[in-house]
Chains A and B, each alone.
Chain A
Amino acid sequence: MKIEFTKEWCLRMAQLEAETPSNFEVGASPLAPEETMEAAAVEQSAASGIVFGRFVRLMRRKQRLTVEKLAEDAGIDVVELVEIEEDSRHTPEPRTVYQLATQFKVPMQGLMQLAGLSKAKDARLVNEAIRFAARSEPVADLNEAERAALEALVSVLSER
């Protein structure tokens, strides 16, 4: 559809926009801050913290990155990354999960579930996450068992 805009109208509206400190963003995203905070309060548990922390650590090691390098590459705060890996009670920021999903090339919705920021709807993912937590050990090198556990979880995440 074509719409006629005059210069005068556009100029007047630009002036109006300049008069307010406000921005223009609209939209209730499924991951808007209020909902993610509420979901986090309900869903976040030590179990999801352990699974998500171990997942991030193993994916980082698989990519042969230091914590600092991963933080830099993913554009996230190094302090938060340390907390994710070390503190099972830590609730990650939605943006951080988004950045990590991009960095690790896994679907964001699945990673949000894994991080306890959205409600788990996929029983297979939940089961695989629990098996992953049980099989993975945070030692220096990625051993075959860890690699297999990591790849099994990534496979379920990627099917979604």
Chain B
Amino acid sequence: MSIDVSKVFLFDNSAKNLVEAELLDAIVEKQLLDWEDQWIPARDEVNRRLKAAGVDRSKWPQTGHWSWRDKQLGIKGSLSNPSFCVVHADETQGLMILDTLPSARLSSQAGKPIVYIDYLEVAPWNRKHLPGDVPRYGAVGSILMRAAIELSLQEGFKGRVGLHSLPQSNDWYANKCGMTDLGPDPAKQNLRYFEMTPEIAQAFINRGS
């Protein structure tokens, strides 16, 4: 399997500068080992901090029971489930699995093909867990989102992207990405479903121009 590598830049929040990183169009064993050896211990440390701070368990990261190894196993060999990851300093900084089979739900796009983001997660050290937390690296989530849009364009789906956001991420997809909120979806544990039109996808790409 050949893997394409794209050069990306993350913002190092402690050094206050951009650092070079890589976007890979695959999740391989190295990423699963990073998840097991680095993400899980970091996540447990986060949970200890939340517990010490008296944060109710219902507010703890909702990805705490996710297994990227199981997810990767579930899509093994599936051509309709491309995956991406962001790597910097020999560490996996973010992971994403996509599905190219679903159709759009927005009335203006209904029935048209989309790239659906099955799962997207950034490393525990790149998230905000408690007030005042500063992620180690910025732009990881945006780069993965951009990869989904670019795949949609390459597939001829014109940038249409759909996803079910976990509650702690709703603000990002609604207000910063400009996606349309189609409300809670009873078929997906009442997670809110968001969709991006071709126009909003182009605006997302043009953000940095």
- A: which residues have CB within 8 A of B? 1-29, 31-35, 75, 77, 93-95, 98, 108
A residues near B163, Cβ cutoff 8 Å: 26-27
CA distance A92 to B185 in the complex (A): 26
A55 to B4 Cα, complex, angstroms: 47
A22 to B194, CA, bound (A): 15
Q: How far is the CB of B41 from chain A (nearest CB, A)?
A: 9
The answer to whether B128 touches A10, judged by C-beta atoms less than 8 angstroms apart, is: no
Contact size class for B?
35 or more
Name A17's contact: one of B23, B66, B138 (CB within 8 Å): B138
Chain B interface residues (CB < 8 Å from chain A): 4-11, 13, 18, 23, 25, 44, 47, 51, 57-58, 60-67, 70, 94, 96, 117-122, 127-128, 135, 138-147, 150-151, 154, 163-166, 168-173, 175-176, 185, 188-191, 205, 207-209
Residue of B66, B143, B171 touching A5 (CB-CB under 8 A): B143
**How many pairs, one residue from A and one from B, have CB atoms within 8 Å of each other in the complex?**
175
Residues of A contacting B18 with CB < 8 Å?
Answer: 7, 10-11
Chain B contact surface mostly: mixed
Residues of B within 8 Å of A13, CB to CB, are 138-139, 142-143, 146, 207-208
Instruction: Say whether A11 contacts B171, CB under 8 Å.
Output: no
Chain A hits for B127, CB < 8 A:
23-24
In the complex the two chains form, is B120's CB within 8 Å of A22's CB? no
CB closest residue in chain A, given B11: A14
Chain A residues with CB below 8 A from B13, complex form = 18
Contacts known (A23-B122, A23-B169, A24-B169); A32 close to B191, Cβ less than 8 A: yes
